[in-house]
Every structure is written in C-alpha cells, then in structure tokens.
Amino acid sequence: MNHDIDQQLLRIASADNPALDGIEDAVFARIQARRTSVGTGLGAAALAALGAVALGTMAAGSVATPASAAATLDPIGAVSSLAPSTLLLASR
C-alpha cells in the first residue's frame, strides 16, 4: 500500500467541490450576525440591571423605618418573657 500523504493532499486540493465555493463569505457573515446579536443582548441586560438598581434605590429611599429603642445589654442574651426563670419568678 502506498500512503504518500503529499499525493493524497494534492488529490484533495485538485478536486473541485462547488459546495465549498463562497464558504468563507458565509462563515464571516454568520460571525458578524452573532456579534451583532450578542451586543444587543448585552445592552438589554445592562439596561435591565440599571433599571433594577434605580427601582431598588427608590424603594429603599421612600420607606421610612421607625426608630427602634436601644436594646438593653444583657450578658447572657435577650430576656424572654417565656423563659423558665421569668415564669418561676412571676409567681412571687
């Protein structure tokens, strides 16, 4: 068997395939179309993100929270009205 790669490549190069005519133009056109669609998608996503931030800022700024009283300092934790010690002392 003769497997001379140069001869095989020359045979492939000399073969005329009409389906391959203009394939470069088709590939470049699809690449350009994809770049255009990706750019549009990023612009829409950026606009949506900007709108979400603006809406969140307006919502956070318009809600007034009431001032809460300062929490008392307790070394063990918050005092609960249902704690066993509180319930036992309530009877006295």
Mean pLDDT, 10 residues at a time, the chain of 92 residues: 80 77 87 74 82 87 63 64 75 66
Amino acid 46: pLDDT: 85
Amino acid 92: pLDDT: 65
- CA dist 43 and 40 (Å) reads 5
Amino acid 17: pLDDT: 73
Amino acid 37: pLDDT: 66
Is the separation of the CB atoms in 80 and 86 below 8 Å? yes
Is the separation of the CB atoms in 59 and 52 below 8 Å? no
Amino acid 33: pLDDT: 86
The residue count of the chain comes to: 92
- CA dist 75 and 28 (Å) reads 72
Radius of gyration of the chain (CA): 37
Amino acid 76: pLDDT: 66
User: Which amino acid does the sequence have at 38?
Assistant: V
